[in-house]
């Protein structure tokens, strides 16, 4: 028996590869296993190789595994491209119809040709070959067929019981075929029993959307883009029940600007996009900063620059998120590391946007946005709504007709009271031009300085409650790992391996990227012999931020990856070992 | 009991920085009179404007006002209307704002048909940047950026609005304030997007399209016998015949349904007055979908 397995299903894009993977994973999640998935796909609808890699474990996993135990192949290309990933003794389950073969140089791997298509056709339709393939996996892992009944019923129940029965039959027949072929269960593919607890199984984009809704966001304006579209799609489905709505705009400029307009009107509103869309939004981000209008913007990072790698993993928007827009504005950038944090950080993003009256950018990455994974229960009671100096629910005292409300009143903390349109005694003007306390254009030197200082004062001492995600068992570690976004799991896994070799390692994930929490980061950097910053970009953006804000230039090293694929644990382990050896720490 | 509102209630104490004689003064006065005639109170109105000479208008009127980014007044206005459908939202800007940098939003706002009124102060030139060509400049029009005359065809905004599915398409002229007031009133009352182009001469940089030039050419729809503003085809035909010089309400769809009334589940109660955090039961039902 084993406590984890790695499974991959591959084929041509547009042939319904997602379904067997999703069904397989959902059933296992309901048995209480922890799952972590990553979809490899291309920016096209039909054709091209696609695969879905899923790790199943009896304990929490937040990274892909180095190698593969089981490969389910719907075409020879899947075998040719992925067979090298299989561990010694790994198994390929492939459709017998096209006479699958092992590529040259691949040894110690077992290929089982299963008549996916033939069995499906016998049952009634070649389309069910996907289910036969799921069954083949069930047989190999010696799982019971019953847990799949529930998921299959949910998926095809509305098409009638006959369809459900046929799909279940396909699973059973696939399982039976492999069981016969093996002669008896193989212990190395048999998972230890899970705890049976029901946990959530979702992608980061769904957690982002659910977080926004729970925080009170009732309007989203967005333009479709990979890998952010699921956020709008989810809200299009659920917002009507809460009286809210989503507008698919003509472009990202309209999207962010509409969100700003709605926030000005007093409604929590946001937009979500990825690199190219975020680039288009930069002028409006400055408008939000200048007019002190709250707005939340999600950037699901993908490979840049330009159209770049639309369906691949990268962290190259850090600088763009922090610095983009001309001029100088206060801005907050959050970077959740897990699906749970996507949910809670979205709630916090809406609170911070209103409390500080600034744009808040929530950075995620493609692996976090689209990777489906097991998620611990989300806590309703942890969601609190804080609106700062919002006055929309307050009756304002009477004032003379032209005594305009001081929307930009110079206050000690820089944050001014915020009435909303419609309020009788709240009339004021808002402009992206430099303005005075009532929002009228004013270019005077003294006013300019006073208003600029006021805006920047708002975040001068800003620190969110937990700006870092910390794992620091050692007072004086050999190495401190610093990561961002979805690298959390893979770094932790690399650390476990290094610890087995005697390396003392601490780990922080940057959750509050901007303003940079230098005072929080510094003690961890100071305590460590060496610092390794892990990020998926070519120019070490995060490492440079640490050098800029914390210093310690000589001991900060980078492990970078920018080929579009997420880190594997062995890549970090090996490179870290190399660095530590050079420093004679191992 | 409500005191009767006057156009003076919409005046503020900021002297506009427009040139003496600028057509935009008349647009400002017409807006103030239209708001008063409709019995609106200043706090019920939000004027959202773009960038350019005309974009300053939100600062010269006593209502809520948002002076945003160049070309994006309509995006701001639509977001605001979604947030609070009880507000009277009026967007305003120039021909550069609405037909050059922001044309994308103009067309899509017309298609979307939110209950917003949009005034374009059309002077066929860029004023604030001191005299460059605009998408409304005539072929051959000489400006700083087209010293040998414009070599691009001018845009026909009203035909464009009709082609985009406009449900209220009108045109005014700064020297006919009474007509403009009645157009704006009708536009605000219209259930949907009211698109109003206003010939608003630039007395400083446009020496061709002057008040007199327009006076000689405009054709008020009232002067056309049998003109029916509910006939889209006729509207298009007359616009072509007059080279876009028709004024008045050129087309109005009496059956127009505003975007807000088409949104599934959208309530009459403005979004801004609805609760933020969902109930525990609703939250648990949402989460259960992911088990």
Cross-strand pairs, B24: none
A526-562 residues labelled b (16+ CB within 10 A) or e (exposed): eebebbbbbbbbeebbbbbbbbeebebeebbbbbbbb
Average pLDDT over residues A297-321: 98
User: Could you tell me if A448 and A475 lie in one domain?
Assistant: no
CB A175 within 8 A of CB B268: no
Nearest residue of A to residue B278, measured between CA atoms: A214
User: Could you tell me if A172 and A95 lie in one domain?
Assistant: yes
User: Could you tell me if A226 and A333 lie in one domain?
Assistant: yes
Q: What are the angstrom distances between the C-alpha of B177 and each of B22, B24, B182?
A: 13, 11, 9
Q: What is the ipTM of this complex?
A: 0.98
Nearest residue of A to residue B263, measured between CA atoms: A245
Q: Which H or E element spans position A17? A: none
A346: CATH: 3.40.50.970
Residue B2 in domain: no
pLDDT at B1 over 50: no
CB B231 within 8 A of CB B150: no
User: Could you tell me if A319 and A283 lie in one domain?
Assistant: yes
| Selected residue of A429, A435, A438, A443 to mutate for chain B interface (largest B Cβ count, 10 A) | A429
Kindly give the residue spans of alpha helices, DSSP state H, lying in A482-568: 487-500, 518-527, 541-549
User: Could you tell me if A192 and A67 lie in one domain?
Assistant: yes
Whole domain around residue A494: which residue ranges?
468-582
CB distance B78–A247 less than 8 Å? yes
| pLDDT for res B15 | 96
Number of domains, chain A = 4
- B177-189 vs B24-37: helix crossing angle, rounded to 10: 50
pLDDT tens readout for residues B190-239: 999 999 999 999 999 999 999 999 999 999 999 999 999 999 999 999 99
What distance in Å separates the CA atoms of residue B34 and residue B47, rounded to the nearest whole number?
13
CB distance A240–B264 less than 8 Å? yes
Which of these three, A361, A382, A403, is where a domain ends?
A: A382
A284 to chain B, any CB pair closer than 8 A? The answer is yes
pLDDT tens readout for residues A162-206: 999 999 999 999 999 999 999 999 999 999 999 999 999 999 999
What distance in Å separates the CA atoms of residue A5 and residue A57, rounded to the nearest whole number?
7
A440 to chain B, any CB pair closer than 8 A? The answer is yes
pLDDT tens readout for residues B68-88: 999 999 999 999 999 999 999
CB distance A401–B62 less than 8 Å? yes
CB within 8 Å of A73: residues ≥ 6 apart: A10, A11, A79, A82, A92, A93, A94, A95, A100
CB distance A261–B77 less than 8 Å? yes
Which of these three, A364, A382, A400, is where a domain ends?
A: A382
**How many CB contacts within 8 angstroms connect chain A with chain B?**
205
Nearest residue of B to residue A439, measured between CA atoms: B59
**Can you give the C-alpha Rg of chain A in angstroms?**
26
What's the whole-number average pLDDT of chain A?
96
| pLDDT for res B2 | 57
Number of domains, chain B = 1
| pLDDT for res A356 | 98
CB distance B87–A421 less than 8 Å? yes
A531 to chain B, closest Cα gap in Å: 38
User: Could you tell me if A213 and A139 lie in one domain?
Assistant: no
| pLDDT for res A44 | 79
Whole domain around residue B225: which residue ranges?
7-288
User: Could you tell me if A142 and A227 lie in one domain?
Assistant: no
What percent of chain A clears pLDDT 70, i.e. is strictly above it?
100
CB distance A377–B287 less than 8 Å? yes
A31 CB neighbours in chain B (<8 A) are none
User: Could you tell me if A340 and A212 lie in one domain?
Assistant: yes
Residue B1 in domain: no
What distance in Å separates the CA atoms of residue A112 and residue A573, rounded to the nearest whole number?
33
pLDDT at A233 over 60: yes
| pLDDT for res A20 | 86
CB distance A269–B83 less than 8 Å? yes
A257 to chain B, any CB pair closer than 8 A? The answer is yes
pLDDT tens readout for residues A414-439: 999 999 999 999 999 999 999 999 99
Length of chain A counted residue by residue: 586
What percent of chain B clears pLDDT 90, i.e. is strictly above it?
98
What distance in Å separates the CA atoms of residue A57 and residue B97, rounded to the nearest whole number?
57
A573: CATH: 3.40.50.920
A554 to chain B, closest Cα gap in Å: 44
Average pLDDT over residues B125-133: 95
User: Could you tell me if A256 and A350 lie in one domain?
Assistant: yes
pLDDT at A468 over 50: yes
A473 to chain B, any CB pair closer than 8 A? The answer is no
What distance in Å separates the CA atoms of residue A106 and residue A176, rounded to the nearest whole number?
27
pLDDT at A565 over 50: yes
Q: Which of residues 353-382 of A touch B (CB under 8 A)?
A: 375, 377-378, 380
User: Could you tell me if A186 and A54 lie in one domain?
Assistant: yes
Phi, psi of B132 (to 5 degrees): -115, 170
What's the whole-number average pLDDT of chain B?
97
Which of these three, A412, A427, A462, is where a domain ends?
A: A462
A179: CATH: 3.40.920.10
CB distance A219–B82 less than 8 Å? yes
Task: Compute CA A501 distance to the chain's CA centroid, rounded to the nearest angstrom.
Answer: 31
A150 to chain B, any CB pair closer than 8 A? The answer is no
CB A22 within 8 A of CB A65: no
Average pLDDT over residues A246-253: 98
SS (H, E, C) chain B: CCCCCCHHHHECCCCCCCCCCCCHHHHHHHHHHHHHHCCCCHHHEEEEECCCCHHHHHHCECCEEEECCCCCHHHHHHHHHHHCCCCEEEEEEEHHHHHHHCHHHHHHHHHHCCCCEEEEEECCEECCCCCEECCCCCCCCCCCCCCCCCCCCCCCHHHHHHHCCCCEEEEEECCCHHHHHHHHHHHHHCCCCEEEEEECCCCCCCCCCCHHHHHHHCEEHHHCCCCCCCCHHHHHHHHHHCCCCEEEEEEECCCCCCHHHCCCCCCCCCHHHCCCCCCHHHHHHHHHCCC
What distance in Å separates the CA atoms of residue B131 and residue B143, rounded to the nearest whole number?
6
pLDDT tens readout for residues A374-419: 999 999 999 999 999 999 999 999 999 999 999 999 999 999 999 9
What percent of chain A clears pLDDT 90, i.e. is strictly above it?
95
B176: CATH: 3.40.50.970
**Which is nearest to A54 in space by CA: A100, A18, A90, A79?**
A18
Nearest residue of B to residue A384, measured between CA atoms: B277
């Amino acid at each position: 028996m084993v406590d984890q397995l790695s499974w991959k299903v591959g084929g041509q894009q547009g042939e319904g590869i997602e379904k067997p993977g999703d069904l397989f994973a959902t059933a296992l999640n309901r048995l209480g296993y922890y799952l972590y998935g990553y979809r490899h796909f291309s920016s096209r609808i039909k054709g091209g190789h696609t695969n879905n890699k899923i790790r199943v474990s009896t304990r929490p996993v937040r990274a892909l595994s180095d190698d593969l135990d089981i490969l389910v192949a719907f075409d020879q290309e899947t075998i040719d491209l992925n067979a090298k990933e299989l561990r010694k003794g790994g198994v390929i389950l492939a459709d017998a119809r096209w006479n699958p073969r092992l590529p040259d140089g691949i040894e110690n791997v077992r290929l089982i040709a299963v008549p996916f298509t033939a069995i499906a056709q016998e049952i009634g339709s070649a389309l069910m070959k996907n289910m036969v393939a799921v069954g083949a996996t069930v047989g190999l892992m010696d799982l019971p067929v019953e847990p799949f009944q529930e998921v299959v019923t949910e998926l095809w129940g509305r098409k009638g019981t006959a369809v459900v029965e046929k799909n279940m039959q396909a699973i059973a027949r696939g399982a039976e075929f492999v069981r016969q072929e093996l002669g008896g269960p193989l212990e190395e593919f048999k998972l230890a029993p899970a705890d049976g607890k029901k946990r959530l199984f979702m992608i980061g984009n769904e957690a982002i959307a659910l977080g926004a809704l729970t925080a009170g966001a009732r309007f989203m304006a967005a333009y479709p883009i990979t890998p952010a579209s699921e956020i709008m799609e989810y809200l299009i489905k659920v917002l009507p029940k809460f009286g809210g709505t989503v507008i698919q705009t003509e472009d990202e400029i309209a999207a962010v600007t509409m969100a700003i307009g709605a926030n000005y009107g007093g409604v929590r509103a946001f937009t979500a996009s990825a690199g190219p869309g975020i680039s288009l939004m930069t002028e409006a981000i400055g408008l939000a900063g200048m007019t002190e209008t709250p707005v939340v913007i999600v950037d699901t990072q993908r490979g840049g620059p330009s159209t770049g790698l639309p369906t691949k993993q990268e962290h190259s928007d850090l600088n763009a998120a922090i610095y983009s827009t001309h001029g100088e504005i206060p801005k907050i950038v959050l970077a959740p590391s897990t699906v749970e944090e996507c949910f809670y950080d979205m709630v916090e993003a809406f609170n911070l946007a209103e409390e500080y009256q600034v744009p808040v950018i929530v950075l995620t990455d493609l692996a976090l946005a689209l990777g489906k994974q097991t998620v611990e229960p989300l806590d309703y009671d942890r969601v609190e709504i804080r609106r700062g100096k919002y006055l929309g629910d307050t009756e304002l005292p009477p004032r003379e007709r032209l005594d305009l409300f001081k929307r930009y009143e110079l206050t000690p903390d820089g944050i001014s009271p915020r009435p909303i349109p419609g309020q009788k005694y709240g009339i004021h003007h808002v402009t992206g031009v430099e303005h005075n306390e009532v929002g009228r254009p004013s270019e005077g030197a003294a006013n300019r300085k006073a208003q600029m200082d006021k805006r920047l004062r708002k975040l001068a001492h800003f620190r969110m409650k937990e700006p870092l995600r910390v794992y620091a068992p050692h007072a004086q570690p050999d190495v401190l790992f610093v990561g961002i976004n979805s690298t959390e799991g893979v770094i932790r896994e690399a650390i476990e391996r290094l610890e087995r070799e005697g390396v003392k390692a601490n780990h922080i994930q940057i959750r509050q990227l901007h303003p940079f929490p230098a005072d929080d980061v510094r003690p961890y950097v100071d305590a460590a012999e060496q610092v390794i910053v892990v990020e998926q970009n070519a120019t070490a953006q995060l490492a440079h931020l640490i050098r800029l804000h914390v210093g310690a230039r000589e001991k900060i090293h980078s492990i970078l990856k920018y080929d579009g694929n997420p880190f594997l644990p062995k890549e970090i382990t090996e490179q870290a070992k190399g660095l530590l050896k050079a420093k004679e720490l191992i | 009991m409500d005191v009767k509102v006057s156009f003076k209630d919409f005046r503020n104490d900021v002297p506009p920085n427009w040139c003496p004689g600028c057509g935009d003064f008349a647009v400002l006065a017409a807006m103030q009179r239209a708001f008063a005639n409709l019995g609106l109170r200043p706090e019920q109105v939000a004027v959202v404007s773009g960038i350019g000479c005309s974009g300053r208008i939100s600062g010269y009127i006593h209502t809520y006002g948002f002076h945003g980014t160049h070309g994006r007044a309509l995006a701001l206005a639509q977001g605001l209307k979604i947030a609070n459908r009880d507000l009277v939202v009026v967007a305003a800007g120039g021909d550069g704002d609405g037909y050059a940098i922001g044309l994308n939003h103009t067309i899509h706002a017309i298609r979307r048909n939110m209950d917003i009124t949009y005034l374009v102060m059309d002077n066929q030139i860029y004023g604030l940047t001191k005299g460059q060509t605009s998408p409304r400049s005539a072929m051959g029009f000489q400006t700083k950026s087209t010293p040998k005359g414009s070599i691009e065809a001018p845009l026909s905004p009203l035909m464009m609005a009709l082609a985009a599915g406009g449900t209220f398409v009108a045109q005014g002229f700064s020297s006919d304030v009474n007509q403009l007031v009645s157009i704006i009133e009708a536009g605000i009352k219209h259930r949907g997007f009211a698109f109003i182009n206003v010939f608003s001469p630039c007395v400083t940089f446009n020496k061709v399209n002057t008040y007199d030039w327009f006076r000689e050419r405009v054709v008020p729809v009232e002067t056309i016998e049998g003109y029916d503003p509910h006939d889209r085809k006729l509207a298009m035909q007359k616009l072509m015949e007059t080279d876009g010089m028709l004024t008045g309400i050129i087309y109005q769809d009496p059956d127009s349904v505003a975007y807000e009334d088409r949104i599934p589940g959208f309530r009459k109660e403005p979004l801004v007055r609805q609760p933020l955090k969902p109930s525990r039961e609703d939250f648990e039902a949402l989460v259960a979908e992911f088990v």
